[in-house]
Structure 1
Amino acid sequence: MQLVYSLKNELASDSGQVATAQALTLDLSRPFGLKGTFGLFGSDEWWQSIEAGRLQKTELEGVITLLGRVGMHNESPVFNAHLDNGDHYTYDTVADTKKGVKKYIVGKRIKIVLVRDPLKSPSTSRGTHSEIVIEIWVDE
């Protein structure tokens, strides 16, 4: 499998995304955002928590079954995968390079690596954790 998307790479090129998420975590007057239990999103401490297993990784594997677009003007490319466990998973078609986007092909195997980071204010509608995709791998 080939790594086509890495959150580390995305965050390295978009420091504003990290700053916004961290500010929301630190703003105690706002109930939204991550709790920060395992470090502030995107920080060295946060990545170390992932590597040490304190912030648990989950790997979803399956086969790409559909490529499509969503949004009011069909502006966002997405993929749907039928997972090995029988579930379906839909996510944005993201890649570190334009060449990586072309790796998303119906019938190819895919692996999505994500972490579940606790939310500041869990609820029945939002759940208790945010699922954050940190890597996507596609068969060559």
Structure 2
Amino acid sequence: MPLLVAPDNGIPMKTVFTLQEALRGNPERIKKTQALTLNDSKPNMGLSGKYGLFGSKEWWESIASARMPLERVTGVVVRAYVAGQDSGDINTVDIRMPGGEILAAGIYLNNKADLALFQVGHMVSIVYALDELKLQPAHDGGINVSKVALEMAVSLVP
């Protein structure tokens, strides 16, 4: 179920991550996330389950039918770097959005070899599901959500 609509600008894009593929290789993530949702003794932790249990058929149908809000981010890489205390491979990019703002985004991959595509000047597109958390409201009074990366693509050329 492709969700990512690459910009129609003639730049070839490669999908480097889909959550569906990642979950096939990590079924334990689904079990743990669902268990936390169902755990009434932790009312401030985990997803609410409003759109179905994470990774379930109902959850994916909520995404496909647009019941669950999605956020699409597209921009050009201006910096690729290691964020956090681990000194491993790059894991974050700063993306210049069409309006000029800079957004930091994590790098998601199904195949580590695709990390080489995340270079300055390359375009990146990400689709996030905005799944509601149990703990409501957010600090700003809005809806508290978890941004779940569903798909990520990067251009093959700058």
Alignment TM-score, normalising by the size of structure 1: 0.91
| Cα deviation code 1:8-35 (max 9, x no counterpart) | 1111100111111111100011021110
Partner residue in 2 for 1:124: 139
Q: Does 1:87 align with 2:106?
A: no
| Cα deviation code 1:47-73 (max 9, x no counterpart) | 111001101222111001111112223
Q: Does 1:64 align with 2:77?
A: yes
How well do the aligned residues superpose, as a CA RMSD in angstroms?
1.8
| Cα deviation code 1:60-107 (max 9, x no counterpart) | 110011111122232362111111233322232221112321111110
Query: In terms of mean alpha carbon deviation, does 70-79 or 53-62 score higher?
Result: 70-79
Q: Does 1:41 align with 2:45?
A: no
Partner residue in 2 for 1:9: 21
Could you tell me which runs of 5 or more consecutive residues in structure 2 were left unpaired when the two chains were aligned: 1-12
SS of 1:111's partner is strand
| Rg (Cα) greater in structure | 2
Q: Percent identity?
A: 28
Partner residue in 2 for 1:101: 115
Could you tell me which runs of 5 or more consecutive residues in structure 1 were left unpaired when the two chains were aligned: none
Q: Does 1:114 align with 2:128?
A: yes
Q: Does 1:75 align with 2:88?
A: yes
CA distance in 1, matches of 2:119, 2:93: 9
Q: How many residues align?
A: 140
SS of 2:53's partner is coil
